[in-house]
Amino acid sequence: MNGRIVVSHHSSLDFLDLSGDLWVYNKSGKPVNRVTDIPIANDGREGSVYILHILENYDNLADKTIFIQDDLHNHQPSIDKFIEHAEQDVDFYQFPCTWRKDNPTFHKREIVNGFIDLPTIRNKEAIVDFCWRFNLTLPYRYETETCCFFMASRDVLRSVTKEKYKLIASWLRENPDNEFVFEHCHKLLFIK
């Protein structure tokens, strides 16, 4: 597969179906072979891992980076289709995701005027607050996927300053709820 694949890993080894430049941010405490294994504390969700990777590699990002969770089969019912999407020559792509493999319907969530009705986002103004805090345009209506699987070019990732990524990393650590918010508004950083 073209590009670097960044994996937020805690328990599943589903991602080992993939080949290529795999960088595994490993929260499991157990080594993973055949990949670039980067042990980290089991803190935060995938958003923290993605921001960590971008910050630590900002000046040395791959031409294209694919960001995924380790339970690939839960969210991608067809690995072949996932690879087909990953081979696209685009600057940014949000992978369609299923909620779980036992429910293979792709789910999108609609955000209207910054509002999304999810029990994991208790502050109903959270997306509005995120956009205000990080000076992002909030579309009146947009959709997000069930999970945070995306790919972005180096240029797109670097269109956000390193300082802004540092501020987002700090914000993610402020409150565990922010991790859930980030899953539904991360793409606003990259889509202009």
Residue numbers of the chain with a pLDDT score lower than 70: 1, 104-106
Vertex 71 angle, CA 67 and 72, to 5°: 60
And the tokens for 87?
């081979």
d(CA 78, CA 60): 31
| Predicted local distance difference test score (pLDDT) of residue 120 | 87
Listed in order, strand segments (DSSP E) in 148-189 are 150-153
Cα atoms in the 13 Å half-sphere on the side-chain side of 157: 23
Give, to the nearest 10 degrees, the angle between helix 46-56 and helix 162-174. Answer: 150
| Predicted local distance difference test score (pLDDT) of residue 102 | 73
Total count of domains within the chain? 1
Q: Tokens 């240029």 correspond to what residue?
A: 155
pTM given for the model: 0.94
What element of type H or E holds 126?
A: helix 126-133
Strand 4-9 versus strand 21-26 pairing type:
parallel
| Predicted local distance difference test score (pLDDT) of residue 2 | 78
Cα distances (Å, whole numbers) of residue 192 to 27, 74, 137, 159, 187: 33, 30, 8, 10, 9
- Residues 6 or more apart whose CB falls under 8 angstroms from that of 67 comprise 6, 8, 46, 50, 53, 148, 149, 150, 151, 152
| Predicted local distance difference test score (pLDDT) of residue 106 | 67
d(CA 19, CA 162): 29
| Predicted local distance difference test score (pLDDT) of residue 60 | 96
- Residues 6 or more apart whose CB falls under 8 angstroms from that of 161 comprise none
Name the residue range of residue 70's domain. Answer: 4-189
